[in-house]
């Protein structure tokens, strides 16, 4: 049994992670702002993680084997957590994102077209941190989501004080009504209604992961693995917007109607005009076994269709 603190953990794969940690016999503490209650038997501390004094007071003398941070978006949040948990935990795992590799949001090392991007493309140990930017402004944070994640990883990596690992997640699908982004529902609903899907002239593929698989990987990273630094978390197999639409069409019985957007115009989710599909080779070398996207995608589509039907009743 390990003592695990989960910051966030109130919805989607974070909620599932808490359930699996508890089922594994671990002593779990959830820290969030009280938006949702964790399962019975899980300690719940209602604290705003942005308030350093409140976080210190709320934690009291508690110490943990591992902290899993599901909701760290800025270097300011990371700096607070690094100070508060230094000496309280031996290991810290942060949920990060494929967006750190988006070449539209930073000057990154150029990789050859169609190359699966490795973790060293974004090196947290040397990434510049600018904590004085307006990270508390919601509009600024939304516009700079990828950079916020890059800098948060950098703060933890450079602060030391505990083992630090980041899990850079691919685009997460599955869960039906739990999939709060609505991106898969965009496809199931529009295709079912015969409405157009907007795509780039050359829509490039990306990588995905099922929410249950991501929860399983986070469980592994927190309780079984001992790596530090980043790992990419993605199911095997590339998929572009046309392949995703075809998977939806197979279950709706309606063929997708496409419209090609002009350069610079916004397209439907997962239609990309730039390449940043990740390599999951490091996680595999460390012992994690991934599924194939094609194995779980039909089930995820079926869940999204069912959830959409319930919303319209």
**149-166 residue pLDDT tens:** 999 999 999 987 899 999
Domains, the chain, in order of start with CATH, read 3-312 (3.40.50.720)
Q: Checking DSSP bridges between strand 196-199 and strand 43-46, what pairing results, if any?
A: unpaired
Helices marked H in the chain — which ranges?
A: 12-23, 52-59, 75-85, 138-143, 145-159, 183-193, 211-223, 241-252, 281-285, 293-312
Confidence (pLDDT) at 113: 74
Which SS3 state, helix, strand or coil, does residue 206 take? strand
**So what's the pLDDT on residue 312?**
63
Q: How far apart are CA 238 and CA 234, in angstroms?
A: 10
Distance CA 133, CA 138 (A): 12
- At 179 the pLDDT is 81
Q: Do residues 72 and 8 lie in contact, with contact meaning Cβ atoms separated by under 8 Å?
A: no
Query: Six-digit token pair at 244?
Result: 């995703």
Number of other residues whose CB lies within 10 A of the CB of residue 76: 21
Tens digits of per-residue pLDDT, 38-87? 888 999 999 999 999 999 999 999 999 999 999 999 999 999 999 999 99
User: Do β-strands 89-97 and 64-69 pair in parallel, antiparallel, or remain unpaired?
Assistant: parallel
Q: What average pLDDT values come out for the chain (313 residues) when binned by 10 residues? A: 92 90 95 86 94 96 97 97 96 97 88 87 94 95 96 94 96 84 92 95 94 96 96 97 96 94 90 91 97 96 86 61
pLDDT at 307: 83
pTM for the full model? 0.95
* Best CA proximity match to 36, nearest among 12, 60, 56, 5: 12
Q: Which two tokens stand for residue 70?
A: 């599901």
């Amino acid at each position: 049994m390990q003592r695990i603190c989960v910051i966030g953990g109130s919805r989607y794969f974070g909620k599932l992670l808490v359930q699996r940690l508890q089922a594994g016999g671990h002593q779990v503490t959830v820290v969030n702002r009280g938006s949702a209650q964790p399962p019975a038997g899980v300690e719940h501390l209602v604290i705003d993680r942005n308030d350093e004094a409140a976080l210190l007071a709320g934690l009291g003398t508690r110490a943990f084997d591992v902290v899993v941070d599901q909701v760290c978006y800025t270097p300011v949040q990371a700096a607070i957590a690094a100070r508060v948990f230094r000496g309280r935990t031996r290991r810290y795992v942060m949920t990060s994102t494929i967006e750190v590799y988006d070449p539209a949001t930073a000057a990154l090392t150029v990789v050859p077209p169609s190359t699966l991007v490795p973790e060293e493309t974004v090196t947290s140990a040397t990434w510049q941190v600018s904590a004085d930017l307006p990270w508390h402004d919601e509009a600024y944070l939304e516009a700079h989501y990828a950079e916020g994640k890059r800098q948060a990883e950098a703060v933890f990596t450079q602060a030391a004080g505990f083992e630090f690992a980041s899990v850079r997640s691919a685009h997460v699908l599955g869960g039906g009504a739990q999939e709060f982004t609505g991106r898969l529902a965009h496809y199931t609903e529009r295709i079912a209604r015969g409405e157009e899907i907007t795509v780039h002239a050359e829509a490039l593929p990306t990588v995905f992961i099922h929410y249950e698989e991501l929860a399983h990987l986070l469980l592994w990273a927190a309780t079984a693995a001992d790596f530090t630094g980043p790992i990419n978390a993605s199911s095997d197999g590339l998929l572009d917007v046309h392949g995703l639409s075809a998977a939806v069409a197979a279950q709706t019985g309606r063929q997708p109607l496409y419209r090609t957007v002009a350069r610079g115009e916004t397209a439907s989710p997962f239609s990309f005009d730039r390449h940043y599909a990740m390599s999951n080779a490091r996680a595999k070398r460390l012992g994690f076994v991934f599924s194939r996207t094609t194995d779980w995608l039909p089930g995820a589509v079926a869940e999204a269709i069912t959830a959409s039907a319930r919303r319209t009743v």
